Structure 1
């Protein structure tokens, strides 16, 4: 028998997961709230009755939930990244990896001969597509078993739609930083809230069933990456480039 869906229901004022400033209650939605372009709306899946409370930092603007703070990888595998995940994110399997491959080949030609790592790449589809066109890329995902990458070994790293999935932003970026060489470049995607802040909880990107549990603003990404010795540039709402600064 599968274990029941259990989450933390934290509604009181707390501290931001990025900058430790005061955070207040932002809103609440059902666990089955989802997002993808083929849905007529975000609420077409049956309600679970499990309330997911989101908070917002009053300083850097980070929107996040404590609901999954205590979850193990097996909890996420059972309740989020399970056999039904493709129903909630149909572009995950091949559409997005192909699009990301074309984007990287276009934007980062000067790194194409370098040793590369795709962080959080699931079963490695994006890295495989890169290898098929001659790139030296491997993939590693903390939720998928596989050989642990070499530390301080990669000159170029990618990470697509990962930072909204982590309950611990500092832990995730520290792990990324550990794999990247000093002076290395990290290209990643995650949607920021700046252009849609007026939508509040109606922002389609806030979707716990997709695993979207930490939603950044540009300011929260700036604070996070600065704390780990990176210089960051926001290309647009979705794409960001960070360089690991040489000490």
Structure 2
């Protein structure tokens, strides 16, 4: 099977049952470190609900992401410009970021925008950065998706869990998502280094959060993100003006 990242031939590493019914094969690329499933014929069934029922951390994750993003965007990017949340789900994060004071917009091909209606992504606008959380592991064609993101901005801020080394067996790593069948692409540090080099970008690893960017940002300075636990995001928030009431007035005029 051909690797969807580097197009080299990869090798089957194991098989496992997903959705409690389909025995599928997983393939590993020795050249770029990527792991992928076989052609995911089961996705229509897996996505009967776009947010899977086992994702009990959805709200808590968005709270933590909004705090980390507040520090990251407020200190290292132009906080007064526009941002897009790609594969933004129900729009929870976009609404949170707008409430904080960032001009965030929503985009998602597969999920209904419930919380950020009226603030959908417009292709012709200019965006400082695009975020995409818990989506890379869902990409059927990762390179195509990344190239779509790079058309929006040359800074992509995203989250996914890196493959452990050695590659774990299905029973030993919950992130394979066997019960819901939506996770089909898995990346190593080596994979992201390959992608960054391919597009002449800098890659920054922040544990489960990652950045591809044309900007030069010191990884040492980014350690300040850990101060989220001590309320650093609140200091940054004081420099911003919430868009909650402004958005209310804007949407009220459209009724």
User: Do Structure 1 and Structure 2 share a fold, with TM-score over 0.5?
Assistant: yes
Cα–Cα, structure 1 residues 198 and 84, in superposed 2: closer, same or farther, change >3 Å?
A: closer
Measured after TM superposition, the shift of residue 58 of structure 1 is: 1.4
Equivalent in the alignment of 2:204: 233
Measured after TM superposition, the shift of residue 101 of structure 1 is: 0.4
* Number of residue pairs aligned between Structure 1 and Structure 2: 206
2:164 matched to 1:191? no
Please point out which of 53, 69, 87 is paired with 1:104: 69
Cα–Cα, structure 1 residues 113 and 210, in superposed 2: closer, same or farther, change >3 Å?
A: farther
Give the structure-1-normalised TM-score: 0.75
Give the structure-2-normalised TM-score: 0.73
Cα deviations by residue, 1:64-122 (Å, 9 ceiling, x for unpaired): 01232xx6xxx74x522334844221222x22111110111123313332211111111
Please point out which of 175, 180, 189 is paired with 1:218: 189
Cα–Cα, structure 1 residues 83 and 22, in superposed 2: closer, same or farther, change >3 Å?
A: closer
Cα–Cα, structure 1 residues 136 and 148, in superposed 2: closer, same or farther, change >3 Å?
A: closer
Measured after TM superposition, the shift of residue 206 of structure 1 is: 1.4
RMSD of Structure 2 on Structure 1 (CA): 2.4
Greater C-alpha radius of gyration: 2
* Contiguous gaps of at least 5 residues in structure 1: 1-13, 33-46
Q: In 1, distance between residues paired with 2:125 and 2:66?
A: 23
User: Greater helix percent: which structure?
Assistant: 2
2:29 matched to 1:57? yes
Q: In 2, distance between residues paired with 1:135 and 1:28?
A: 44
Question: Where in structure 1 do 4 or more consecutive aligned residues deviate above 4 Å?
Answer: 145-148
Q: In 1, distance between residues paired with 2:148 and 2:215?
A: 16
Question: For the Cα contact (< 8 Å) 2:90–2:112, is it kept in 1?
Answer: no
User: Greater strand percent: which structure?
Assistant: 1
2:125 matched to 1:124? no
